[in-house]
Amino acid sequence: MVLEVLGYPGIKILAIISEIMNIGLLSGLLYIYIKSYRKIKFGFTVGLILFALMLLFKSIMGIGFILFSNQMPVNLPYILGNIIQIIALLILLKITWDY
């Protein structure tokens, strides 16, 4: 049995869920970075904000391509890449939150 929700196959649903998780983690990082920048006004923090914004843009665009493009190849390597990104962002968020 293949999982299908609203006409989308299960692999696309997993891809969308992983992108939404990335968006949530990146939003948390952006919140911390912007709060930090307001306190210390350090150029490195601007770089972190831009880095998080670019990854956030990538995840938003990814969801758009998954939903509205038949040309977007959603396969296991795509999902694994998103899972690796989620793990990396969790580590970064933990480190950032602690300091």
Mean pLDDT by 10 residues, the chain (99 residues): 66 93 97 95 93 97 90 86 96 92
Q: What whole-number distance in Å separates Cα of residue 87 and Cα of residue 63?
A: 19
Q: What whole-number distance in Å separates Cα of residue 68 and Cα of residue 52?
A: 24
> In this predicted structure, what is the pLDDT of residue 9?
81
Residue 1 inside a domain? The answer is: no
Question: Taking the complete model, does pTM exceed 0.95, yes or no?
Answer: no
Residues in the chain: 99
Split into its structural domains, the chain has a count of 1
Backbone angles phi, psi at 37, to 5 degrees: -65, -40
Residue 76 inside a domain? The answer is: yes
Residue 60 inside a domain? The answer is: yes
Q: Which two tokens stand for residue 73?
A: 């190849």
Domain enclosing residue 41, as ranges:
9-98
How many C-beta neighbours within 10 Å does residue 8 have? Answer: 15
Q: In sequence order, what E strands does 1-99 have?
A: 4-5, 8-9
Residue 84 inside a domain? The answer is: yes
Residue 2 inside a domain? The answer is: no
